[in-house]
């Protein structure tokens, strides 16, 4: 006949093992729940700060990130860029909104590739903005950069069985200090609209806005 103490000890040991297993199972489940919640929170934060179509930062995120970049610029020259597609409504009307969305995605990808590690964003509709570090704010350099950007955006965009060329009106303006972002964007925006008003007769619908630089 088995010793009652031995039986009791065995029961206690089995109970302890069961309790340990249950605790580990609960811990694993809790970790999985925390991981899921963290992933959902990260997704919500990303969705709140990024454009769902192009994946670029949205308007709110652009101003927040740009302010941080200007604070940390350490004296590096910065250029504000604003671009708006020409006659974009006609693309939607003629080819449909799916084609229009593909054009916006292509423009976003090309603008981001042109900007490299710099900040670019979709402000809304067919309007985009960027904050670019530059080796200089010399007008000649800005003119050259603007030409390259316009040519990059004007390359054919494949849309199923055909390709489409779009042009963009572009405005640039130097940012003279951490507190001058809004002013620089206003200068760039005004330059962009002046470029747009020139009409399709101009090969490159862009204009450089040269704001006075701070000493």
Strands (E), 39-175: 78-85, 119-124, 127-133, 157-159, 162-164, 168-175
Active site residue 101: no
Contacts of residues 20-23 at CB distance under 8 Å and 24 or more positions apart, as own/partner, are: none
Nearest to 111 by CA among 102, 103, 120, 100: 120
User: Which structure tokens are listed for 157?
Assistant: 């965009």
Distance CA(69)–CA(55), nearest Å, equals 20
Catalytic residue among 117, 126, 186, 215: 126
Catalytic residues: 126
């Amino acid at each position: 006949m088995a010793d009652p103490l031995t039986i009791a000890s065995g029961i206690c040991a089995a109970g302890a093992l069961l309790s340990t297993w249950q605790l580990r199972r609960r811990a694993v489940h809790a970790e999985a729940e925390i991981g899921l919640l963290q992933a959902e929170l990260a997704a919500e934060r990303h969705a709140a700060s990024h454009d769902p179509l192009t994946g670029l930062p949205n308007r709110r995120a652009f101003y927040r990130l740009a302010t941080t970049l200007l604070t940390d610029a350490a004296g590096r020259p910065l250029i504000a860029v604003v671009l708006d597609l020409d006659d974009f409504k006609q693309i939607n009307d003629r080819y449909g909104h799916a084609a229009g969305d593909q054009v916006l995605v292509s423009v976003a990808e090309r603008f981001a590739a042109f900007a490299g590690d710099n900040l670019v964003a979709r402000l809304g509709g067919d309007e985009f903005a960027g904050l670019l570090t530059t080796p200089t704010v010399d007008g000649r350099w800005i003119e050259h950069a603007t030409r390259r950007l316009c040519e990059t955006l004007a390359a054919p965009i494949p849309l199923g069985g055909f390709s489409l060329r779009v042009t963009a009106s572009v405005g640039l303006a130097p940012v003279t200090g951490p507190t001058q972002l809004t002013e620089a964007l206003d200068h760039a925006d005004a330059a962009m609209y002046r470029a747009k008003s020139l009409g399709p007769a101009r090969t490159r619908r862009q204009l450089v806005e040269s704001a006075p630089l701070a000493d």
